[in-house]
Structure 1
């Protein structure tokens, strides 16, 4: 039975066409993947098809029909009709559960809300159903978590709650819009398996939106590839992987981070640059029962040689970013030593702090929030030049900014743009240029490609490899995806719960991992072949 039929769907905002003549169908127990880069029209297509699009001046054409015993035409439907369908017959799981969940309501209230609205059940029946749903999505200690608030859960747990809310009224159709993009690879694998299990148990049809064909390969039966709002390919998942017809689809396939690629050439004769021994970091936090201490990093030791990359891997909460924060002076360690080319990092004198900080650059995960939205690119890149007095005069600064933009592959005229005028990949290149302005010895890349499309991510990784070869930079590459770590790292350190579980040359670790946790991280990376081929 066809659950959703979309025909010749179009979206225009003003004079601009966002979505053009998109058609697809979803049957019961089937998953249709919609894939493409940011700006390809994936989310706009689904929002328009389900009647959720609320952009000023937007005009939607074509048709979208929710099938079943009571067919509903969603395009152009009255608000009352859409309210009766959303949450009842169509469930939604969005990318960021942190912004989708109400921070002021308990999990129980957020799950029971749609049940009381659409199913007219009693409060006690709704509470019982909420508990069943939290058990079904695998939330630990569901009975006690009913009265918890979103901020008390991890990212993966919040996403499980979002799925529970979406499935509360046994919908015929589930819309999953990038539901695993912000999650660790192990949590991503769990969410994918959870949705597949629930789909089998409830017979739900699923539309799964993603920019990563590797993820789509694990969930979808049929795939629609969008580029600039237009369908460039539409076929069963195996045909897309084995016989892609469009060059754009081939590019998306080639950009997937996979494990069966060779890493950088081994470096055996480089001198040590960064040496960390016995690093411990703890925080005091407030809890409902009083103050407690979180031991974030426990006795961590690492080495990075000149011109090489150390990949620092682990799930959220493993202590990766805390290590970076300690090295850059953002947090004070409890104990341990760290030297950069022999210079003491933790015991540096106040007068020498500025000179030492110049030698360590930092690139964050989200380039949009790390760049000043009110400053032009030129000002952002020139700031380190002025702070460290690396060049004299405005003309020399402008010339150096142009050199840095050229180094990261951007035209000189980008200097006059603001961050909102750049794409995500362009903004991250600007962030890298700013970090390079101080001419550092070590560059810390904290999930620097995690928020990017896979195609953009691939280009940024190529850029980083080129810069390392040209400038002799050392990298501390922090990430949760071992397929990304594999492409740049000479050595890999795996952390779990603040402790080092494995620290070995990359070739050895990827060929023969020793720790069970490392094996689990490797197993969670989407394989080269789609699930349908197994």
Structure 2
């Protein structure tokens, strides 16, 4: 086993008391085999660079390390500094994250690349010749090898570090953010370089915040959060099939060409490193936490496909499962044998032309109408077994026309308060709760505004009131039924942005009903296409848009893209 971490823990001493420490890595166990690239991803401060430094035994003096780092069967914690120096750059090399701390500003680039060879006993001329060829290989332009670091671009300096790591032909490579400063074309070339090293039998530990680069280069990806491994999975599944809520949140935060959905950051902030929470470390930011998540740490469980996820719920849980649902109005069959799932914290768009059954399916899920056949399961419990009033608290609905859904007799305050009154939870704190809801949807909270009636509000204002009303009971599921179809483009964009922000901050699941697949691609994680009462396509949004499988889906997309009207 070329490189292995066994129960690795790293803390850093802070000034003051002896026990004043922060935790950088917590019980990390990881193997990198010959001919394998493993990538480490996570937010800044998650412990990625500490792991890289630990692999080279280069941790700072205030670091406290327990556990072991094993290189070719040798526990490096038992090696002296002199013994470790013989291993560095010969058996294992590193590309450091910050080239400014590594490259000597008063030495030419070619001399710095040649230095490890000269230290290993090669003649200066031979070392310089090899270094020149390596810099050519790393696409450093002719003549620039004689320049000083400050005379190169950031991307070129990053490639110089890669040349330094490869020059001694080590068996193991540790790459800490190797493409952080390079352009897209160079990034693709470096990916080819890394894959070639892997194909030559080298073990590569790739540390990066670039998720697409991790998916492109590595065989396996490990997700770090505040020093803890939360998930490990085949890299091919990273962007399309993450299983931990944190990994999904990372993917949602990362821009890729294939996705049109607006980026959403991870709600909240990472935990303090000075204390260890009793329960799951991701619980305060999680979209699907339950009581046990507060009480104890989850254990790692295997997932389908060879991954591992550290979660009490076995990874991203299913909120709603629709199984073989059918529905008719008199002799008209509206839905025919429909099945789909909605995950916790997911945004699903139901797309189709008018009359395809979108709204009927949404209302069946909301429990406002009953199916003729099939069943709907909410968090592992049949919908028919759940108290209807209790379930209504968990589902908020934003109807297609707010002027039809909000009584003209209610002012703004009364309209938002109505769900609280119906469920008999209106109390002394409700006034502040209603005003907070108005602030969330970016509406005024002064007496003049909250006493306005629907006819005194613009379409955008009234739709925001409808959203505040739907969210006042803090539901777990929000259903938005054509909630922007009556709005002008400017107001529509603001409402969509508002819905996305609220969904992200609250961590709720959302069903977005729309006839416009162009809108669906901007807001959803997944699209289910309804046609003639059946789901004809159900995939991640970018898959549906980029590679539609059903002829009807292709027609929907073509209709949005079309700029010409054909002759009848």
TM-score calculated relative to the size of structure 2: 0.44
Larger radius of gyration: 2
TM-score calculated relative to the size of structure 1: 0.46
Structure with greater contact order relative to length (CA < 8 Å, sep ≥ 6): 1
